[in-house]
Amino acid sequence: MEQIIMNGNSAAAYGALLSRVQVTAAYPISPQTGIVEALADLVASGQLEAKFIMSESEHSVMASLIAASEAGARVFTATSSQGLALMHELLHWAAGARLPIVMVNVNRAMSAPWTMFCDQSDIVAQRDTGWLHVYCEENQETLDAIIQGYKVAEQIMLPVLINMDGFYNSYTTEPVSVHDIKDVDRYLPPYEPPVKLDPKEPHTLHGGTGPHLFMEMRYQMWQAMEHALDIAREADDEFGRMFGCSYGLTEAYRCKDADLVLVSSGSLVGTLREVVDVYRDRGDRIGLLKIRYLRPFPTEEVRQALTSARQVAVIDRNVSVGMGGGFWQEVRSALYGSEVGNKPVLGFLAGIGGRDVTPESVDKIIQTARSNPPQEVPIWVELKV
Amino acid sequence: MQELTSIPEQELLYQGMYSCPGCMAALAMRLVLKAMGPNTILALTTGCWAVIDGPFPYTSSKVPFLHGAFGTAASMGRGLRASLDVQGKEDVQVLAWGGDGATFDIGMTALSAAAAYNEDILYVCYDNEAYMNTGGQKSTATLPGVRTTTTTQAGLAGVRKKNIVEIMAAHDIPFAASASAGYPHDLVKKVQQAKALKGFKFIHVHTPCPTGWRYPPDEGPRIARLAVQARIHPLYHVRHGQQYVIDLDPEPISVEEYFQTQRSRLKPLSAEEMAWIQENVDQRWQTIVARSRNTEA
């Protein structure tokens, strides 16, 4: 194991390298370009024995990876925002085809107006495509999530989207442990698909399917996604045993006796962690729930973490216009009708379009939460209008 | 006199496929697969052939057959090639297959990229001159003057058919050709020639459509041949974007004569419109003839 100072994009490339991906296709988009460049270089220099397809669009990226995966290779790519949206059709296809593709999405707001800065509206809009969705707080987690991603994907045969926040993660350098590839090999054996395209044993895949079978196929995806909860927990535990670092599907930080629990994901969690410590030092009982898996949604862990809270404040760096933040909807839905559901769940919208969410912003969120604001509508944080 | 190519006997399609009676696209696939042989993987994009193959769990293909999203045949072909190569299976042939809508329209950028990177695959476009799978809407492969479900009135008689072979030849790929389901030997020979070459190969196969063009199902081969005679669909190939060879030059007929065989899909054309279409066809033919003479010289 070697510790290297690197940004999130490099960590993602190392994750792919250590996972011994065999085919990668990519199209550049800020702030993901560092991943594409690093992979192209790793392949060209022979450090990664893989084929690199330079695609002319993200739509083609995913089409190529679908076919490469169908022919039996472990495949990887990375994208962001508009590129992810251009892939949308094929995200459904990859999941419906039950392919263990792993993709990193560097979160960036969706235009218009034209922008390249961070928010998670790009990925939250892709919740229903049948992929597993993982959100990373820092660069080590991104590297590890890719390796874990293949471990999970290849058992349940569904694709995995690993998210890091644009700029906050992609271009922020941190020390990252690069595991010994031989250890990773023991954790992640070579990909052995149950069915693949091979002239020696011909199969026709994904032909027209009518109402008599389609629904059952979706139900099988549902079952795989449910199963993914246990598989992801096991994969994370095993990773922890082998590499000394595990993350959980959620992380409850100082939640036990908290009366207000802040809930969020991605790089924002780092800031919240600091703020919670400050409040705790003053004896103020604030807790933090980091949601790492959005799909499958870890309902059990979320309910458990929010048991003692009298109030929950979900902070979303994304917005579904006309409804509110995606995580807010998910948490409310997870608590509804349960024993721990009888408490206000407030929805805060912050950092949309890449505006910094500072410790002072979080102070304001906490103060607002404690003023018992309306629960039915989202609260826009530090709005200038 | 063209040398007669023998058509391989091995059938790589099962009987009982879901094509319309007299489907020339089904015939084209049958012939192309015969020429490709069994060590082939087929990447297929949305179009008539997504239906012709049959509904899950049935298939009409004896070679591995990957159905994919609309316009993705070339990209899937690239993915298959990379995947096979990285696993040491360079001997397996990749065939990408798309209709005119998937090729001329929605798959154009993907096709161009695969050609520009000279991926070692054969792309076959079967051209029935409209979006026949969705009921016959206009594509950029539709001939001027043809009535489709989205061009029901006159007015598009002046819109040319995209010249796909020239577009692909301009990528300087090893092999860009036109072929016709009405000339099986020429088609099989071209697939065999393409197969023997490394790099990106493109064949544009004309496949008249009894359902969409509203002619009796047994008329297909005759109409396909008349299209070649009328030089609506001349049969030639281009190597490396430079070497032009006219493969067949049957006795010419006028566009008007050709159009008379399928009056039900044509709008009433004015004399000026007909003259304009004939002039376009003549110009394209003269260009091919001139380039083939340069090749000989």
CB contacts of A55 in chain B (<8 Å) are: 75, 78, 113
Other beta carbons within 10 angstroms of residue A89's beta carbon come to: 17
Distance CA B221, CA B225 (A): 6
Is B117 in contact with B78 (CB distance < 8 Å)?
A: yes
Question: What does CATH list as the number for A2-243?
Answer: 3.40.50.970
Query: Out of 3.40.50.920, 3.30.460.80, 3.20.20.80, 3.40.50.2300, which CATH number does the structure's domain A250-380 have?
Result: 3.40.50.920
Q: Which of B58, B64, B72 sits opposite A63 (nearest CB)?
A: B72
* Cα angle A332-A338-A344, degrees, rounded to a multiple of 5: 45
Size of interface A-B (CB pairs under 8 A): 153
**Residue B3's pLDDT is what?**
58
CB contacts of A202 in chain B (<8 Å) are: 61-65
Listed in order, the ranges of chain A carrying CATH 3.40.50.970 are 2-243
The domains located in chain B, with CATH, are 24-296 (3.40.50.970)
Indicate the helix (H) or strand (E) that contains B115. Answer: helix B108-116
Other beta carbons within 10 angstroms of residue B265's beta carbon come to: 20
- pLDDT exceeds 90 at position A325: yes
Q: Which of B43, B63, B76 sits opposite A202 (nearest CB)?
A: B63
Give the position of tokens 């906490």: A366
Is B148 in contact with B138 (CB distance < 8 Å)?
A: yes
Other beta carbons within 10 angstroms of residue A371's beta carbon come to: 7
Listed in order, the ranges of chain A carrying CATH 3.40.50.920 are 250-380
**Residue B154's pLDDT is what?**
60
Sort residue A186 into left (φ over 0), alpha (ψ -120 to 50) or beta.
alpha
**Residue B2's pLDDT is what?**
52
- pLDDT above 70 coverage of chain B, percent: 97
Is B188 in contact with B31 (CB distance < 8 Å)?
A: yes
A88 touches chain B (CB under 8 A): no
Query: What is the separation of C-alpha A161 from the centre of its chain, rounded to a whole number of angstroms?
Result: 5
A26 touches chain B (CB under 8 A): no
**Residue A147's pLDDT is what?**
98
Per-residue three-class SS string for B14-43: CCCCCCCCCCHHHHHHHHHHHHHCCCEEEE
**Residue B275's pLDDT is what?**
93
Mean pLDDT for all residues in chain A: 97
- Residues A121-133 have a mean pLDDT of 98
Q: What is the pLDDT of residues A205-223, one digit of tens each?
A: 999 999 999 999 999 999 9
Q: How sure is the predictor about B1, in pLDDT bands with cuts at 50, 70 and 90? A: very low
Residue B40, min C-alpha distance to chain A (Å)? 6
Q: Which of B75, B86, B92 sits opposite A51 (nearest CB)?
A: B86
User: Is the complex ipTM higher than 0.90?
Assistant: yes
| Cα–Cα distances in angstroms (integers) from residue B104 to residues B13, B40, B99, B128, B174, in the given order | 26, 24, 8, 12, 20
Quick one: B218 exposed, middle or buried, by C-beta within 10 A (0-12, 13-18, 19+)? exposed
**Paired strand residues for A134:** A162, A293
Distance CA A26, CA A375 (A): 42
Distance CA B196, CA B5 (A): 15
Q: What residue type is assigned to position A124 of the chain?
A: V
Interface test with B, best of A22, A200, A204, A209 (most B CBs within 10 A): A204
Distance CA B295, CA B108 (A): 28
Query: Minimal Cα distance from B93: which residue of A?
Result: A199
- Taking an 8 Å cut-off on Cβ atoms, the answer to whether A71 and B54 are in contact is no
- Taking an 8 Å cut-off on Cβ atoms, the answer to whether B66 and A65 are in contact is no
Mean pLDDT for all residues in chain B: 94
A204 touches chain B (CB under 8 A): yes
- Residues A173-184 have a mean pLDDT of 98
**Residue B195's pLDDT is what?**
96
Quick one: A367 exposed, middle or buried, by C-beta within 10 A (0-12, 13-18, 19+)? exposed
- Taking an 8 Å cut-off on Cβ atoms, the answer to whether A68 and B82 are in contact is yes
- Taking an 8 Å cut-off on Cβ atoms, the answer to whether A50 and B109 are in contact is no
| Cα–Cα distances in angstroms (integers) from residue B248 to residues B29, B135, B179, B194, in the given order | 21, 32, 10, 17
Q: What is the pLDDT of residues B53-89, one digit of tens each?
A: 999 999 999 999 999 999 999 999 999 999 999 999 9
Q: What is the pLDDT of residues A144-175, one digit of tens each?
A: 999 999 999 999 999 999 999 999 999 999 99
- Beta strands at B122-127 and B201-206: parallel, antiparallel or unpaired: parallel
**Residue B152's pLDDT is what?**
83
**Residue B296's pLDDT is what?**
83
A69 touches chain B (CB under 8 A): yes
CA dihedral of A178, A181, A183, A189, whole degrees rounded to 10: 130
A96 touches chain B (CB under 8 A): no
